[in-house]
């Protein structure tokens, strides 16, 4: 092929490539998804990571002007960690931190100037769960002592619920992880509400105590979390043991009443319910009543 023909062919190929891949037009505003409250959520990932700071400032400013005309109530920016240098720029335009998790954070700007900010704070509560495991054949309760804690009390095994995890599932999982005993969820015995709890990162605390039936009995305690673990006679634990926290003693009072009068007088049972939101379900806990 002659040199002239080769140049001609290369020019044609370049023209075809440009037709198939037109140059990207610079963004004039950020794109996002609106919610039912007329807020907008924008993923900053849509802009090039190398975008100059001034260009991002202009882009965000232009977007805010457009959103104002659309009467957007709140603007949310999802900022991946690698885009962190854009956070101070957004702060200059009024954005504040709302929450951070994993490899991204969410910034928020309340835009409805005619009313106060109505967006809820993030993670206002944490959920803890413990399992009251009663063994009928020996009239004993599964109790543990935590390792490396300020207070050394006999207590029920438990821990924090994971995101999207049912209360009963948390109780079963935590009891197994701490003691090696397999159980089955029966009911909720009680719930505690507490504020300003040390170690809760300033969050309020809900703590559910669940009644579980043991499916195994051999104890294999987690040495990293538990200093002691055993089946203890419920009468001895209730009447003679001094090393028991007040909440554990109160739950033992409930359990003794349930054993005497029937747990249907104590238990909060879980009822699976259909949500008003299509395709979703939830669990409602309440005392039984005649149908």
Q: What b-and-e string marks burial along 205-234, b requiring 16 or more CB atoms within 10 Å of the CB? A: bbbbbbbbebeeeeeebeeebbeebebbeb
Cα 139 to Cα 78, 234, 258, distances in angstroms? 54, 6, 13
Query: What's the distance, CA 17 to chain centroid?
Result: 47
CB atoms within 10 A of CB 119: 13
Query: What is the distance in angstroms between the CA of the first residue and the CA of the last residue of the chain?
Result: 91
- Between CA 222 and CA 225 the distance in angstroms is 6
Is 177 a residue of the active site? yes
What is the residue whose two structure tokens read 């950020």?
30
> 5, exposed or middle or buried, with CB in 10 Å at 0-12, 13-18, 19+?
exposed
Is 98 in contact with 122 (CB distance < 8 Å)?
A: yes
Catalytic residue among 70, 177, 225, 261: 177
What is the residue whose two structure tokens read 């294999």?
220
Residues contacting residue 288 through CB under 8 Å, at least 6 positions apart: 264, 267, 269
Q: Which residues are marked as active site? A: 177
């Amino acid at each position: 092929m002659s040199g002239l023909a080769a140049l001609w062919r290369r020019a044609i190929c370049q023209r075809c490539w440009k037709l198939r891949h037109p140059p990207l037009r610079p963004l004039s505003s950020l794109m996002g998804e609106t919610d039912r409250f007329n807020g907008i959520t924008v993923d900053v990932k849509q802009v090039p990571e190398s975008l100059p700071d001034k260009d991002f400032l202009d882009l965000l400013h232009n977007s805010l002007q457009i959103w104002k005309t659309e009467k957007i109530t709140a603007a949310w920016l999802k900022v991946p960690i690698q885009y962190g240098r854009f956070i101070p720029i957004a702060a200059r335009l009024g954005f504040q931190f709302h929450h951070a998790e994993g490899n991204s954070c969410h910034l928020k700007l309340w835009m409805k100037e005619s009313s106060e900010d109505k967006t809820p704070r993030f993670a206002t509560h944490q959920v803890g769960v413990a399992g009251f495991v009663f063994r009928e054949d020996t009239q004993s309760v599964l109790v543990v002592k935590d390792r490396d804690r300020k207070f050394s009390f006999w207590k029920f095994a438990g821990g924090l619920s994971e995101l999207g995890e049912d209360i009963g599932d948390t109780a079963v999982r935590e009891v197994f992880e701490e003691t090696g005993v397999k159980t089955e969820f029966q009911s909720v015995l009680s719930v505690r509400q507490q504020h300003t709890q040390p170690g809760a990162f300033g969050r309020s605390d809900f703590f559910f105590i669940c009644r579980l039936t043991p499916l195994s009995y051999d104890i294999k305690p987690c040495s990293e979390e538990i200093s002691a673990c055993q089946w203890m006679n419920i009468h001895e634990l209730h009447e003679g043991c001094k090393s028991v926290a007040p909440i554990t003693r109160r739950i033992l009072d409930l359990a003794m009443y349930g054993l005497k009068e029937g747990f249907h007088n104590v238990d909060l049972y879980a009822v699976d319910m259909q949500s008003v939101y299509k395709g979703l379900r939830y669990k409602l806990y309440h005392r039984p009543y005649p149908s």
